[in-house]
């Protein structure tokens, strides 16, 4: 056709042959992001919380981020290291390092879900429990504890580690 020309090299035999595709050598990359890392992370956490706090509630969990407070409702459970706390309602105040647990009155006025606190030293059932997870000390009101085969009901008491 007039005005059209063949591409340069068209019609000439190729040194590679008609069905050969030219390839380039494969370049591999080496991940150097881990070598010589200058940032060292301490294995010990910074702050007052020493391990993971595991918690659950059958009704709801409400976070007040501004106040650093979490509230657990209905059959609440907290597992923090060797300490376990169960109650109808539990409040975690991270700014004060304080756990507060209490039961809740039903429609007849009967309190259900009274706090049960377990740690290495024993098991305590109470009307109300305040526990500081930084100092590992707590205040237990209306406590009932099992000492061997005896059940003890002391006056308001404090739990110390």
CATH of the domain at 75: 2.60.450.10
Instruction: Tell me the C-alpha distance between 124 and 53, whole Å.
Output: 20
Determine the average pLDDT of the residues in 128-155.
73
95 located within any domain? yes
Give the tokens for residue 8. Answer: 């340069």
pLDDT value at residue 133: 79
Confidence bin at 6 (pLDDT 50/70/90): low
pLDDT tens, position by position, 51-101: 777 888 999 999 999 999 999 999 999 888 888 889 999 999 989 989 899
Confidence bin at 131 (pLDDT 50/70/90): confident
64 located within any domain? yes
Instruction: Tell me the C-alpha distance between 160 and 92, whole Å.
Output: 19
6 located within any domain? no
Confidence bin at 48 (pLDDT 50/70/90): low
What's the domain count of the chain? 1
pLDDT value at residue 142: 81
25 located within any domain? no
Contact 140, 129 (CB under 8 A): yes
| Residue 39 burial (C-beta neighbours within 10 Å; 0-12, 13-18, 19+) | exposed
Predicted TM-score (pTM) of this structure? 0.60
27 located within any domain? no
Contact 101, 85 (CB under 8 A): yes
Question: Domain of 143?
Answer: 53-159
Confidence bin at 143 (pLDDT 50/70/90): confident
Confidence bin at 46 (pLDDT 50/70/90): low
123 located within any domain? yes
Beta bridge partners of 73: 60, 89
Instruction: Tell me the C-alpha distance between 146 and 126, whole Å.
Output: 12
Give the tokens for residue 5. Answer: 């020309």
């Amino acid at each position: 056709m007039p005005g059209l020309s063949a591409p340069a090299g068209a019609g000439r035999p190729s040194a590679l042959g008609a069905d050969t595709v030219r390839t380039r050598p494969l370049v591999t990359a080496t991940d150097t992001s881990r070598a010589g890392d200058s940032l060292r992370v301490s294995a010990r956490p910074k702050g007052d919380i020493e391990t993971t706090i595991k918690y659950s509630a059958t009704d709801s969990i409400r976070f007040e981020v501004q106040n650093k407070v979490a509230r657990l409702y209905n059959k609440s459970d907290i597992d923090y290291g060797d300490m376990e706390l169960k109650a109808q309602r539990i409040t975690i105040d991270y700014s004060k390092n304080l756990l507060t647990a209490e039961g809740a009155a039903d429609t007849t006025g009967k309190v259900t879900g009274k706090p049960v606190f377990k740690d290495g030293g024993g098991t305590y059932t109470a009307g109300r429990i305040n526990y500081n997870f930084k100092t590992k000390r707590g205040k237990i009101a209306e406590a009932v504890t099992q000492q061997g085969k005896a059940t003890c009901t002391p006056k308001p008491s404090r739990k110390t580690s």
